[in-house]
Every structure is written in structure tokens, then in C-alpha cells.
């Protein structure tokens, strides 16, 4: 998959078959749309293209009230898109000035003059341009003038996409990871940097990697203990993860993400970790003593090992 940051070099794309959107999560509904443009591109001898925007438009248009929580960071989205068969990803810088383009200017200056569009595939409810004046009907009306095809994604499919996105976010927020993963078609991911923590885990026999996620718009699961796959330098490990405020050992005011990686002793401070969350074990609990906490962690690890032994069969 070729990645373009902006429009430089996009003239090299052959017969662009384009869809537009944020595609947060790249879930099974998104994958259906991408599969459709990939197949159409193959049929027409063209190339599939996703035109998306960074930062998310709501961050620019509503900087103080966006309340945005995204399923994926940009890097996570790129990685997942690369596995869909999509040939070209254009990440266009979204600015307030860009948002003031009229629908005509967007079609003429971006889609036609820059991208030399062959076909655009978008949903029945997609709107674009200043005051959201552009839509699928507008594209169909001007397609004969600019010699491209406008294809409408049926309402049923778009509604499925929107419902899926909502269900995924709600499932993540309540810790129903297995339901979220079902809609995503893959495990929900967290990616962050390992930083030095209080190292209390070492003192009770369970060292942890403290993960910091820089993107403040990234949605996090509800507090609790989860079974995870951990990826370090391309290698996969099993582990458990606690998200919460560590009420037993050192109550925190800010949510912490701690991962205990099984059979692992390397120094990974300053390294990037990718964590796939596969299931939830329990709520975060305030124990009466460290001994009770240790006993529960041992039970958590035992349950995680059992989970992996069953799912690998």
C-alpha cells in the first residue's frame, strides 16, 4: 500500500477508484467497502484509493468541544488498512481553510485536477464542502461534466458501518472486548511507549511495563484486568494488563496502563509496545492487603494461561 501525505505524487495513481472517510477502526463494515473498491479497481484496470484526513475534522472544527474518542491512532489505522488490499492511502491535512472549500472547488480542484478521478464510491449520507453542501446526488450531477462515475453505497451498508462504529465504542467503554473484537474483525489494540513506573510490581513478584499512549483521543477500555497479546520488535508474547488507578498499592489520580508479560525479563524502557486485548477477566479491585492482591494476580495469570491454551488448540 502506497501512502501519500497530502497530494504530492498522487498523479501517478492509475484510474483512481476512490472512497472517502475517516474509517476509524477499519472494522468489518469498512472492510466491505474497501473490498468493493479493490474489486472495482481490478475490474477496471485502475487502483483503489482511500482519501482520509488528519487530524480528524472534528478536532479542527470543534477544538474545545469535540469530545472525540477514536478506536485507532493514525499509525494503528495505517497498519490495519495495509492488510485490506487497498493500494493507495491519501492522508490529507485537514485545516479550517480546507473546510471552507465549496463542494464544487473540492470536486474540481482536488478530485478532478489533482487526483484525475475515475470513480468515486461513497455513502448515501456522505456530505462534503462548505456548509456540507455536497453529497452523492451532487456528485452524480457533476460527474458527466467532469467525466467520472459516482457510485452510491446502499443505505443498508452505510447504516451497518455507523451502527458498528457505535457498538464498538460502547463495547470498549464497558470492557466488552470480545464484542468489540467481533465487530472489528481483529483484536482491539493499544500502542504506546514503555516508561518508568513506581516499580511496585517488582516488589511483589510481578514486574510490569507501564504504557503511555500519547494520543489523547484514543479510546480506552473500562478499568479492569485483561488478557493480552504483546508485540515487541515483531515478537509476540502473552500477558495480562491492568487499566485503572491501582487502589491497593498506590492510588493514582490518573488512569494507569500496566502490562505483566509472561516469562519476560528484558529491559524495554523507551520502547514502543503494541498490545492486542483479547478478553476481560475482572474489574479492578481494592484489596485489603498486598498478600490478597498477589493471590488474585496469580489467579489472573492462571486464567490467562488457560485461555491461551484453549484458544491455541
Q: CATH number, domain at 239? A: 2.40.30.30
Residue 187 CA to residue 278 CA, distance in Å, equals: 6
> Are residues 144 and 235 both part of a single domain?
no
Average pLDDT for the chain: 92
Residue 242 and residue 259: Cα distance in Å, rounded? 6
CATH code of the domain covering residue 102: 3.40.50.620
**Same structural domain for residues 102 and 248?**
no
Question: Is residue 14 domain-shared with residue 162, that is, in the same domain?
Answer: yes
Residue that is written with C-alpha cell 483484536 in the block: 187
What is the reported pLDDT for 253? 64
State whether 40 and 117 are in the same domain: yes
Please determine, for residue 202, whether its predicted confidence score (pLDDT) is greater than 70.
no
Does residue 13 share a domain with residue 54?
Answer: yes
Q: Which pLDDT score is estimated for 235? A: 92
Q: What is the spatial distance between Cα 120 and Cα 277, in angstroms, rounded to a whole number?
A: 35
- Domain closes at, from 132, 167, 202: 167
pLDDT in tens, 219-276: 999 999 999 999 998 899 999 999 998 766 665 667 899 999 999 988 899 999 999 9
For residue 222, give its domain range: 187-311
DSSP per residue, 102-118: -HHHIIIIIIITTT--S
Task: Tell me, yes or no, whether 98 lies in a domain.
Answer: yes
Q: Is 32 contained in some domain? A: yes
Residue at 278 is within a domain: yes
- 160 and 192 together in one domain: no
pLDDT for the residue 251: 59
* CA 171 – CA 180 distance, rounded (Å): 5
Tell me the percentage of the chain whose pLDDT exceeds 90. 75
Beta-carbon neighbour count of residue 250 at 10 Å?
Answer: 11
pTM for this entry? 0.90
Instruction: Write the DSSP symbol of residue 263.
Output: T
Question: CA quadruple 178, 226, 69, 25: dihedral positive or negative?
Answer: negative
Domain annotation covers residue 181: no
Amino acid at each position: 500500500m502506497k501512502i501519500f501525505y497530502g497530494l504530492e505524487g498522487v498523479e501517478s495513481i492509475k484510474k483512481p477508484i476512490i472512497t472517502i472517510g475517516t474509517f476509524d477502526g477499519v472494522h468489518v463494515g469498512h472492510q466491505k467497502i474497501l473490498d468493493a473498491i479493490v474489486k472495482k479497481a481490478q475490474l477496471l484496470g485502475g487502483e483503489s484509493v482511500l482519501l482520509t484526513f488528519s487530524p480528524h475534522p472534528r478536532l479542527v472544527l470543534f477544538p474545545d468541544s469535540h469530545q472525540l474518542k477514536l478506536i485507532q491512532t493514525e499509525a494503528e489505522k495505517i497498519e490495519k488498512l495495509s492488510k485490506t488490499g487497498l493500494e493507495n492511502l491519501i492522508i490529507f491535512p485537514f485545516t479550517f481553510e480546507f473546510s471552507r472549500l465549496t463542494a464544487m472547488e473540492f470536486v474540481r480542484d482536488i478530485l478532478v485536477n489533482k487526483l484525475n478521478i475515475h470513480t468515486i464510491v461513497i455513502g448515501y449520507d456522505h456530505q462534503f464542502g462548505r456548509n456540507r453542501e455536497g453529497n452523492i446526488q451532487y456528485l452524480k450531477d457533476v460527474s458527466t461534466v467532469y467525466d467520472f462515475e459516482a457510485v452510491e453505497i446502499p443505505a443498508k451498508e452505510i447504516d451497518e458501518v455507523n451502527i458498528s462504529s457505535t457498538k464498538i465504542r460502547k463495547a470498549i467503554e464497558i470492557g466488552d472486548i470480545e464484542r468489540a473484537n467481533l465487530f472489528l474483525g481483529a483484536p482491539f489494540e493499544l500502542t504506546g511507549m514503555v516508561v518508568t513506573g513506581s516499580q511496585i510490581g517488582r516488589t511483589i513478584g510481578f514486574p510490569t511495563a507501564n504504557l503511555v499512549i500519547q494520543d489523547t483521543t484514543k479510546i480506552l477500555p473500562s478499568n479492569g484486568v485483561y488478557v493480552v497479546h504483546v508485540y515487541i520488535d515483531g515478537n509476540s508474547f502473552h500477558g495480562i494488563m491492568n487499566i485503572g488507578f491501582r487502589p491497593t498499592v498506590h492510588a493514582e489520580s490518573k488512569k494507569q496502563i500496566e502490562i505483566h508479560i509472561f516469562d519476560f525479563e528484558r529491559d524495554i524502557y523507551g520502547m514502543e509496545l503494541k498490545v492486542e486485548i483479547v478478553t476481560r477477566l475482572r474489574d479492578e479491585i481494592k484489596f485489603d492487603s498486598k498478600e490478597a492482591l498477589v493471590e488474585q494476580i496469580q489467579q489472573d495469570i492462571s486464567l490467562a494461561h488457560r485461555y491461551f491454551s484453549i484458544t491455541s488448540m
